[in-house]
Amino acid sequence: MFSLATGVAPDDPLITAMIEPYLKDGSMATEQDVAAQPQNIWMKLEFEKEHKERVDSNNLEPGIAGNFFDPEGYAEAARLRNGADASFRVNDIGVFPYGYDEDKRLVDQLLSSGVCQKLSPVYVRSLRDYEEAFHDIQDRFIRRGEDIRRAQRDIDNLNLVIRKTQEEIAYRQQERAKLKDDVAGFQRDNEKMDQLLATLESQKTTLRDELKQLYETNAALNEQLAMCSAKLTEEINRRAASVAVKAP
């Protein structure tokens, strides 16, 4: 059954470890069992006197502690309740837990009071609620499926963001290439402008020199014109005076 449920070969060490407690259940416990698994050691007793023992929990609502047994060890799960005190007659056989101190005190009290005599320690497997375990596994399986779907959704969103980012990077790289071309063109235009500016500066200097020369020439001509004008005026005045003297 365990092999079919797990898909593991029957002779696999995992299956062997799983079925070992079931094969040993109810058998006489060895010293190795007592040393290694004290929680699974119960004591087999034979009653020498009639005896009654409370076995049900006093909790009104079954399962209130959420376990098979309450903290004092009394049956709490409905299917484990006896409904009344457990009654034992002479020669009845009972198996009692003996793995913990409180369990040992009960057994030792029965032995010391002469109610029972000890027969042998017995290995009793731990109870497993497979129904609850299967439901828990199913719940975890469903949660893991939800986690996987959420993770896949996050991955899809992340891939979308990565794709858009890559597109944006490609677009920006194209813009960068265009800007490089624009920079190269600007640099060419700037060089041409520098050349044109140098040419204009040269022409400006040449023109300034020519204007200076023209100004100096014009100043000289003005000076000559003034001298000629003065001589002409002097000559006119002289001739006018000569004419006036000759007149009767």
Residue type for 188, please?
Answer: R
At residue 236, the pLDDT reads: 84
In terms of C-beta density within 10 A (0-12 exposed, 13-18 middle, 19 or more buried), how is residue 7 classed? Answer: exposed
Q: Residue 73: is its pLDDT beyond 80? A: no
CA count, 13 A, side-chain hemisphere, 54: 9
pLDDT above 90: percentage of residues in the chain:
32
Residue 42's pLDDT band, with cuts at 50, 70 and 90, is very high
At residue 63, the pLDDT reads: 57
- How many Å is the maximal CA-CA distance in the chain? 201
pLDDT above 70: percentage of residues in the chain:
95
At residue 50, the pLDDT reads: 93
Q: Please report the beta strands in the chain, taking only residues with DSSP state E, as ranges in sequence order.
A: 41-47, 51-53, 86-88, 93-97, 116-123
- Which two structure tokens, joined as six digits, stand for 59? 């909790």
pTM, to two decimals: 0.48
Q: How far is residue 27's CA from residue 21's CA, in Å, rounded to a whole number?
A: 10
At residue 25, the pLDDT reads: 92
Q: Where are the domains of the chain?
A: 2-127
At residue 151, the pLDDT reads: 94
At residue 7, the pLDDT reads: 84
pLDDT digits (tens, 9 = 90+) for 158-178: 999 999 999 999 999 999 988
Tell which residue, 126, 121, 124, has the closest CA to residue 43.
121
